[in-house]
Structure 1
Amino acid sequence: MTAAGDWIGKVGDVWAREWPRTERSFAHLEPLLRRAILSVAPDRGQFLDLGCGVGTTSAAIAAAYPDTRVTGVDLSAAMVAIARARHDAPNLRFVDGDVLDMATSRLDDLVFSRHGVMFFADPVAAFTHLRRRVSAGAPLVFSCFRGRSHNRWALELADATGQSVGDDRSYAPDPFGFADHAFVADLLARTGWSVESSEAADFDYVAGEGADDAAAIADAIAFFTRIGPAAATIRTAPDHARADLLERIGTRLARYARNGRVAMPVSAWIWTARAAGEPA
């Protein structure tokens, strides 16, 4: 389980150090999410990117709509610093902090997020807050992982490390917190959002690259020792067990190695909703 506070400290710092790898892993999802955002975005207004990370999606939307003002918000100051260094545009800014604590001088006209909505301690309170800070009819677009059975990286790492696969039908603030379609649909309805669509988005999760397959596997192992649910297990394993654990992970990753890439089939939901009546 990853609490929101973890992103302020150690988790956010690790993601900041690993940002080229994390961006690579989502590179094939990015255009799918971007297309969904662009299909409903107004021509002008104030846009919010929730959990903006190092700013890839924020910058793309700001470039597509120069008459808007795009604000990317993330709990991690380290990632926001990288976003500022990577992207500079007159209609784009990045802020570190908790969006639930931030006042706004005017209502947002669009909220979007790439995998940044699954870590709220209280998702009902969070989405109710988001509804209250947007104008009537404003769109909300976000991506989140589908269940573990649709995401080979999760299954392979759980198998290699002996971890429990987990239950996608109950909410916990973690990468699969929004995997249950019925839960998310009910959450949005309860918090003042009217669902327009929920589309499955299949893509290749590129975990490793290198000059050959062996180098790509080594790169993927290095990635998963720092990012994801196996990282803590690997880090805390006794010295005598760590080598065997890494070998088991490497054996499973080798199944997906082709032409110097480790690309694993994964799937996300892309949700689109609009602000409806006031939440109860």
Structure 2
Amino acid sequence: MTAAADWTGKVGDTWAREWQRTEQSFVDLEQALARAILSVTPTSGQFLDLGCGVGTTAAGIAAARPDATVTGIDLSPALVATAQARHTAANLRFVAGDALGGSVDQPLDLIFSRHGVMFFADPVAAFTHLRARCSAGAPLVFSCFRARRHNAWAAELGAATGQPIDDDRAYTPGPFAFADRDFVADLLARAGWQGASAATVDFDYVAGTGADDAAALADALAFFTRIGPAAAAIRACSDHARAELLERIGTRLARYARHGRVAMPASAWIWTARA
């Protein structure tokens, strides 16, 4: 489980150090999400990127809507510092803090997020609070993973480490907390959002790149020792067990190494609703 509090420390710090790899993994999804956001985005107003990470999505929306003010907020000071170093547009700012607190101007005319909404302890209360801070009709657009069985990177790592592939239907904050479409539809309705709909987006999760397949595989292994569901299991192993686990993971990843990339099938929901 990854809870919101984890992002203020070790998890956020690790993602900040590995930001080139994490951004690489989401390149295809980023393009689909940006199109979905811009399809409903007003030309001006106060926009919020919730769980902004290193600022890629926020920067793209700020560039496309120069008359808007875009704020990216994230619990991780390290991720926000990286975002501030990467992006300096006049209509864009980044804040370290809790989106449910008072760090963001309101009313909000748009809320969007790339995989940043699955970590609330009480998601209905959180989305109710966010809706109350929006102008009438403000769009909400966010992406989240579908079930692990639709995401080969998670399924393969789970098989290698002995973790379950199927998702527990009980809500637990974490990467796959919003995998169940009916659960998310219900929580948005209970939180007062209207017209919620979800589109499926299949994409390549790029875990590694390199000059050849061997280099790409080494890059992917390095990535998964630091980020993702196998990282904790790898750290917990003795030296001998770690070597065996890395060999098992490497064997599974090698199936996806082609033309200097380890690209694994992945799938997400892109949700849209209005306040």
Shorter-normalised TM-score: what interval? over 0.9
Q: Find the counterpart in structure 2 of residue 15 from structure 1.
A: 15
Match of 1:255 in 2: 255
> What is the TM-score when the length of structure 2 is the normalising length?
0.98
Q: Is the 8 A contact 1:111 1:140 kept in 2?
A: yes
Query: Deviation of residue 125 (structure 1)?
Result: 1.1
Question: 1:162, CA displacement in angstroms?
Answer: 1.2
Does the CA contact (< 8 Å) of 2:69 and 2:91 recur in 1? yes
The answer to whether residue 104 in structure 2 is matched with residue 88 in structure 1 is: no
Paired residues of 1:69 and 1:92 also in contact (CA < 8 A): yes
Opposite residue 146 of structure 1, the aligned amino acid is: R
Tell me the SS of whatever aligns to 2:72: strand
Structure 2 distance, partners of 1:163, 1:265, is 19
Report if aligned partners of 2:115, 2:143 keep a CA contact under 8 Å in 1: yes
Amino acid at match of 2:112: F
Q: 1:213 to 1:103 in 2, by over 3 A?
A: closer
CA distance in 2, matches of 1:244, 1:172: 30
Aligned match of 1:272: 272
CA distance in 2 between counterparts of 1:61 and 1:105 reads 17
Cα displacement (A) at 1:197: 2.5
Contact 1:16 1:79 in 2 (8 A): yes
SS class of match (1:83):
helix
Deviates most, 169-178 or 257-266 = 169-178
1:104–1:216 CA distance, 2 compared to 1 (3 A): closer
Q: Partner amino acid for 1:20?
A: Q
Q: Gapped runs of 5+ residues in structure 2?
A: none
Give the stretch that moved more between structures: 164-173 or 201-210.
164-173
Distance 1:220 1:6 in 2: 23
Alignment correspondent of 1:171: 171
Whether the aligned pair in 1 keeps the contact of 2:149 and 2:165 (CA below 8 Å) is no
CA distance in 2, matches of 1:206, 1:11: 20
Q: Is the 8 A contact 2:107 2:133 kept in 1?
A: yes
SS of the residue corresponding to residue 255 of structure 2 reads helix
Instruction: With the length of structure 1 as denominator, give the TM-score of the two structures.
Output: 0.96
Deviation string for 1:71-97 (max 9, x for gaps)? 000000001001000001111000001
CA offset digits 1:181-217 (Å, max 9, x no partner)? 0000000000010134210000000000111111111
2:70 aligned residue? 70
- SS of 1:28's partner is helix
- For the 8 Å contact 2:185–2:196, the answer to whether it is kept is no
Q: 1:189 maps to which residue?
A: 189
Alignment-derived partner of residue 243 in structure 1:
243
- Residue equivalent to 2:126: 126
SS in 1 for 2:27: coil
- Identity of counterpart residues, as a percentage? 74
Structure 2 residue 104 is matched with structure 1 residue 100? no
CA distance in 2, matches of 1:202, 1:153: 13
User: 2:47 corresponds to which residue?
Assistant: 47
